């Protein structure tokens, strides 16, 4: 494991994040890493290496990296549900799946009104068990991140799988390229970024439907991708670097990442105070003085 010195950039006096003064590089042998999710019961991190069509496993107990699943349906984003089961966006299969505790795979969503999705990108599960995901076209634009195909659904939208009926509902239809999404700790706000428009939007959550959706923040550089929220409701966004925003939308600070593009991030470790970052071909981690919100 190699390390790189790193210094947080403070953009607002309220920014009080500190931690290691170096980044650990856990892996640098991918093509385009994405979809990190930490599995507390096993103390390991899973992440996608999308163009290589493999889901990787980094073991926190010994630092080893192995292939967890390949082929992997060109998986992109991941999360865990309330029961600790892995939920995956499979760009290649154009669906959202759940890996059961016995290892079998259940399809949660592969169509809306009879039409196949573009390529589900990122996913989060709310406390009621509903599965919320975004559907930009990155997995069907070329064979690089999936399989080139024509879209069946007009536009790129945000969807919700109802925990009771399993029905898939469209909950937002005015995005260009919806991508990362995360709930505030009280789950009253859902943040969703629009990669093409360079900003993060904030929706009010009312049961299974969304309201509002105005701009929460623009990312200072790069294209917004994955999002996570910490225990104090601060929004952490992956773009050119990792940007931290106050719940009021102020850009508080930046964690510089030594790669051209940052795709995603997740809080993990037994105390959820270790930030894992996927960026270009690599995966980094840094121990922080804050903790991720419980909802992944």
Nearest CA-CA partner of 247 in 198, 183, 162, 160: 183
Minimum CB separation of residue 226 from Mg ion in Å reads 5
Task: Determine if 121 is a binding residue for Mg ion (CB under 5 A).
Answer: yes
Q: How far is the CB of 126 from Mg ion (least distance, A)?
A: 19
Nearer Cβ to Mg ion, position 135 or 225?
A: 225
Q: What are phi and psi of 50, to 5 degrees?
A: -60, -55
Shortest spacing between CB 76 and Mg ion, in angstroms: 6
- Choose the stretch contacting Mg ion; rule: CB under 5 A; options: 79-87, 148-156, 220-228, 268-276: 220-228
- From 84-92, 145-153, 172-180, 202-210, span contacting Mg ion (CB under 5 A): 172-180
Cα separation of 239 and 74, whole Å?
A: 21
Decide if residue 122 touches Mg ion (CB under 5 A): yes
Q: Which string of x and - marks every residue 225-264 that binds Mg ion (by CB under 5 A)?
A: x---------------------------------------
How far apart CA 161 and CA 144 sit, in angstroms, is: 28
193 touching Mg ion, by CB under 5 A: no
Q: Which of 97, 179, 223, 278 binds Mg ion (CB under 5 A)?
A: 179
From the CB of 32, what's the least distance to Mg ion, in Å? 10
- The window from 88-96, 114-122, 249-257, 276-284 that contacts Mg ion (CB under 5 A) reads 114-122
Closer residue to Mg ion (CB): 93 or 225: 225
CB of 28 to Mg ion, least distance (A): 20
Residue 88 interacting with Mg ion (CB under 5 A): no
Could you tell me the smallest distance in angstroms from the CB atom of residue 129 to Mg ion? 22
If one asks whether residue 90 binds Mg ion (CB under 5 A), the answer comes out as no
Shortest distance in whole angstroms from residue 192 CB to Mg ion = 11
H/E/C letters for each residue in the chain? CEEEECCCEECCCCCCCCECCEEEEEECCCCCEEEEEEECCCCEEEEEEHHHCEEEEEECCCCCEEEEECCCCCEEEEEECCCCCEEEEECCCCEEEEECCCCCEEEEECEECCEECCCCCCEEECCCCCEEEECCCCCCCCCCCCCCCCCCCCCEEEEEECCCCCCEEEEEEEECCEEEEEECCCCCEEEEEECCCCEEEEEEEECCEEEEEEEEEECCCCCCCCEEEECCCCEEEECCCEEEECCCCCEEEEECCCCCCEEEEEEECCCCCEEEEEECCEEEEEEECCCECCCC
Nearer to Mg ion, 136 or 253 (CB): 136
Task: Give the binding site for Mg ion (CB under 5 A).
Answer: 121-122, 179, 225
């Amino acid at each position: 494991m190699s390390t790189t010195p790193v210094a947080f950039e403070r953009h607002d006096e309220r920014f009080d994040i500190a931690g290691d003064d170096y980044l650990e590089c856990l892996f640098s042998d991918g093509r385009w890493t994405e979809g990190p999710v930490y599995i507390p019961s096993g103390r390991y991190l899973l992440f996608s290496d999308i163009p290589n069509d493999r889901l990787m496993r980094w073991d926190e107990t010994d630092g080893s990296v192995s292939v967890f699943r390949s082929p992997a349906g060109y998986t992109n984003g991941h999360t865990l549900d309330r029961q600790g089961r892995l939920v995956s966006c499979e760009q290649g299969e154009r669906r959202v799946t759940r890996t059961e505790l016995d290892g079998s795979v259940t399809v949660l969503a592969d169509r809306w009104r009879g039409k196949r999705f573009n390529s589900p990108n990122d996913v989060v599960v709310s406390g009621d068990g509903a599965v919320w995901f975004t559907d930009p076209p990155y997995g069907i634009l070329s064979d690089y991140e999936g399989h080139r195909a024509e879209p069946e659904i007009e536009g790129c939208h945000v969807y919700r799988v109802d925990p009771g009926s399993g029905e898939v509902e469209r909950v937002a239809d005015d995005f260009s390229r919806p991508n990362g999404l995360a709930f505030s700790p009280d789950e009253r706000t859902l943040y969703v970024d629009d990669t093409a428009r360079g900003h993060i939007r904030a929706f009010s959550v009312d049961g299974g439907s969304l309201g509002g959706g105005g701009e929460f923040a623009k990312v200072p550089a790069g294209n917004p991708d994955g999002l996570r929220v910490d225990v104090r409701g601060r929004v952490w966004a992956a773009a050119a670097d990792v940007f931290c925003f106050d719940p009021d939308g102020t850009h508080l600070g930046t964690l510089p990442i030594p790669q051209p593009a940052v795709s995603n991030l997740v809080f993990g470790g037994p105390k959820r105070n270790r930030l894992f970052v996927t960026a270009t071909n690599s995966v980094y981690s840094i121990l922080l003085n804050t903790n991720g919100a419980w909802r992944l």
